[in-house]
C-alpha cells in the first residue's frame, strides 16, 4: 500500500491529536462508538428530535425507524379537503433526513424490551439502545364509536392522519357531493390531536361549498360542550362568511353530541338527540397514545391512555430510558405540530446533556403556535410560551405569554403558509432553496 504525501500528513495530524487526548486519560472513551439513540416515528416530533440531536452532538449514533415511505403533513391537509391543494404537495421525501441520521430504517416496530434495551421490527431486525425515543403520534379508538367497524371504515373516513386512503378519499367524497348535499362531521372529546383543526375543517369545507355548491351544508357534531379553542374567532368567521345562525347557515354546529350508533350502510348517524343523514360522513374517533408506547409499557391506562413524562427530558415516568414525544405524551401542551417540533428539540437538548453525563436544563422555556384558516385567504392564531416550574414539576403558561388573534386577517394566512414551509424544513431538514409545490 503506497502512502502519498497527503495521507502521511493526515496520519501525523491524527497522531498529534492522539497525543493530546492521552494526556487527559479519555482516549478509550473518545475512541468508543457514540451512545446509541433509537427514535421510532419520523413525524414532526421524531424527525425534529433526530435532526437536532445530530446537530448538537454528532457523536451520538442515531437510528430512526419509520413505518411510512413518505412524510405526509397533517397540518394543511384541510386545504386538500377544500380543493385548494393536492395531497402530493403535502408529501415529502425522507431523503434529506436519511442523509442526516446514521441509520434510517423503513420498518414497523413489533416489540420493545425495555430491560435489555432492544427494539425489534416486523422484518426481523433488532436495534439496541442507550436511550429510546417514541414519537408514534396517536392511535384511534374505533371501538368507542358503535358501528365504526372495519367495513364501515372503508367508506367513513377520519382523515385525521393524512394519507391517500383517508384525506384523498374524503376529498373525492366531498367533490362528489351534490349541491344541497350534507356533510356530517363528528369531533371526539378532548384531548385529541390538533384542537383547532375540526373547526378549521368546518370553515374550509363550507368555503369550498360556498364557491362550488352553495346549497350544501356542514353539520358539526361535537362531543365537547363547546368549541374547544378560539371560540369567538370561529363563531365570528362562521357568521361573517357562512351565514351562521341565519336561515341559510352553511354550518350547523351541535355541541354535546356523542355518537350512539353509526349506520354506514344507510349513511345515518344516531346521536343522543337525533338521527342525522349525510351524503358524506366524517368521523374523527377518540384517540390515545400510539400502540408503540404500549409495547414499551409507557402508556398508563388510568389517565386517559397517554404517557406521563418528565417535562425536562420527556423521559417516561414509568419506564426508564424511554422518552415519549409529541401527541403521545400526557402534558398540558396542545397536541400540535408546533409542540411536537419544539418538544422534539427539547428532548434532543436533554439527551445531549444526559448522554454526556451532565444535568439537563432545569427550567426550559418552550412555545406553541397554532394557525387556523377561516377561509381560503384568512387565518388567526393561538400561541403560548410555557416555562417549567421545578417546584410544581409542571409546565406553566407565562402570564401574558398566552393569547389569540384579535381578528382573522390575510396577513395571518400568509404567516400560516410561512409557518408550514418553515416547520417542514425544520423537521425534515429540507435544504435552503427547497421548492415547495403547495399552492397557497
By beta-carbon proximity to other proteins, the closer residue of 369 and 375 is 369
Can you list the alpha helix ranges (DSSP code H) found in 186-336? 197-212, 231-242, 291-295
Q: How far is the CB of 186 from other proteins (least distance, A)?
A: 30
Judge contact between 105 and 125, C-beta under 8 A. yes
* CA distance readout (Å), 254 to 196, 216, 245: 16, 17, 12
As measured in angstroms, the least distance from the Cβ of 379 to other proteins is 11
Binding site for other proteins (CB under 8 A): 52, 56, 312, 337-338, 341-342, 345-346, 349, 352-353, 358-367, 369, 381, 383-387, 390, 398-406, 412, 414-415, 417-423, 425-426, 429-430, 432, 434, 436
DSSP secondary structure, 30-58, as one string: HHSPPPEEEEE--SHHHHHHHHHHHHH-T
Closer Cβ to other proteins, 258 or 361, answer by number: 361
Closest CB 194 distance from other proteins, rounded Å? 14
Q: Which is nearer to other proteins, 66 or 412 (CB)?
A: 412
Residue whose cell numbers read 400510539:
290
Question: Considering beta carbons, is residue 183 or 234 the nearer one to other proteins?
Answer: 234
Q: Which of residues 274 and 398 has its CB atom nearest to other proteins in the complex?
A: 398
Least distance to other proteins from the beta carbon of 84, Å? 17
Can you list the positions of beta strands (E) in 290-427?
307-310, 315-316, 322-324, 329-330, 365-373, 379-389, 394-404
Phi (first) and psi of residue 80, to 5 degrees = -70, -45
Closest contact distance (angstroms) between CB of 251 and other proteins is: 24
**Shortest spacing between CB 369 and other proteins, in angstroms:** 6
For strand 103-106 and strand 61-66, is the pairing parallel, antiparallel, or unpaired? parallel
- Report the distance separating Cα 353 and Cα 390, nearest Å: 18
The smaller minimum CB distance to other proteins, of residues 166 and 341, is found at 341
* Nearest C-alpha neighbor of 318 from the set 337, 341, 302: 302
Q: Is 52 exposed, middle or buried (0-12, 13-18, 19+ CB in 10 A)?
A: buried
Q: In angstroms, give the least distance from the CB of 137 to other proteins.
A: 17
> Based on CB atoms, which residue is closest to other proteins, 187 or 309?
309
Omega prior to 191 cis, within 30 of 0: yes
Amino acid at each position: 500500500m503506497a502512502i502519498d504525501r497527503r495521507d502521511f500528513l493526515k496520519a501525523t495530524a491524527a497522531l498529534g491529536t492522539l497525543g493530546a487526548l492521552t494526556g487527559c486519560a479519555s482516549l478509550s472513551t473518545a475512541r468508543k462508538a457514540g451512545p446509541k439513540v433509537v427514535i421510532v416515528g419520523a413525524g414532526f416530533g421524531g424527525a425534529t428530535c433526530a435532526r437536532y440531536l445530530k446537530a448538537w452532538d454528532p457523536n451520538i449514533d442515531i437510528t430512526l425507524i419509520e413505518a411510512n415511505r413518505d412524510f405526509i403533513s397533517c397540518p394543511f391537509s384541510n386545504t386538500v379537503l377544500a380543493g385548494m391543494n393536492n395531497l402530493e404537495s403535502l408529501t415529502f421525501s425522507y431523503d434529506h433526513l436519511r442523509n442526516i441520521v446514521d441509520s434510517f430504517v423503513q420498518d414497523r416496530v413489533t416489540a420493545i424490551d425495555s430491560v435489555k434495551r432492544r427494539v425489534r421490527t416486523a422484518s426481523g431486525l433488532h436495534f439496541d439502545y442507550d436511550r429510546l425515543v417514541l414519537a408514534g403520534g396517536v392511535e384511534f379508538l374505533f371501538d368507542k364509536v358503535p358501528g365504526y367497524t372495519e367495513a364501515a371504515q372503508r367508506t367513513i373516513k377520519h382523515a385525521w392522519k393524512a394519507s391517500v386512503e383517508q384525506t384523498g378519499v374524503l376529498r373525492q367524497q366531498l367533490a362528489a357531493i351534490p349541491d344541497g348535499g350534507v356533510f356530517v362531521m363528528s369531533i371526539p372529546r378532548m384531548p385529541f390531536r390538533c384542537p383547532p383543526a375540526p373547526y378549521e375543517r368546518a370553515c374550509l369545507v363550507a368555503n369550498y361549498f360556498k364557491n362550488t355548491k352553495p346549497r350544501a351544508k356542514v353539520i358539526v357534531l361535537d362531543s365537547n360542550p363547546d368549541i374547544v379553542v378560539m371560540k369567538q374567532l370561529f363563531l365570528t368567521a362562521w357568521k361573517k362568511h357562512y351565514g351562521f345562525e341565519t336561515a341559510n347557515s352553511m354550518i350547523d354546529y351541535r355541541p354535546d353530541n356523542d355518537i350512539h350508533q353509526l349506520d354506514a350502510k344507510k349513511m345515518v348517524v344516531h346521536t343522543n338527540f337525533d338521527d342525522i343523514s349525510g351524503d358524506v360522513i366524517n368521523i374523527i374517533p377518540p384517540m390515545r397514545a400510539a400502540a408503540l408506547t404500549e409495547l414499551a409499557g409507557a402508556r398508563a391506562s388510568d389517565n386517559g391512555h397517554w404517557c406521563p413524562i418528565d417535562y425536562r427530558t420527556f423521559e417516561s415516568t414509568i419506564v426508564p430510558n424511554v422518552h415519549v414525544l409529541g401527541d403521545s405524551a400526557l402534558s398540558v401542551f396542545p397536541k400540535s405540530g408546533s409542540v411536537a417540533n419544539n418538544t422534539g428539540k427539547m428532548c434532543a437538548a436533554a439527551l445531549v446533556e444526559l448522554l454526556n453525563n451532565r444535568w439537563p436544563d432545569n427550567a426550559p422555556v418552550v412555545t406553541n403556535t397554532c394557525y387556523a384558516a377561516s377561509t381560503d385567504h384568512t387565518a388567526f392564531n393561538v400561541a403560548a410560551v410555557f416555562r417549567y416550574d421545578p417546584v410544581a414539576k409542571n409546565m406553566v403558561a407565562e402570564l401574558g405569554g398566552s393569547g389569540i388573534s384579535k381578528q382573522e386577517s390575510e396577513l395571518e394566512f400568509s404567516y400560516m403558509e410561512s409557518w408550514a414551509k418553515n416547520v417542514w424544513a425544520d423537521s425534515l431538514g429540507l435544504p435552503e432553496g427547497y421548492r415547495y409545490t403547495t399552492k397557497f
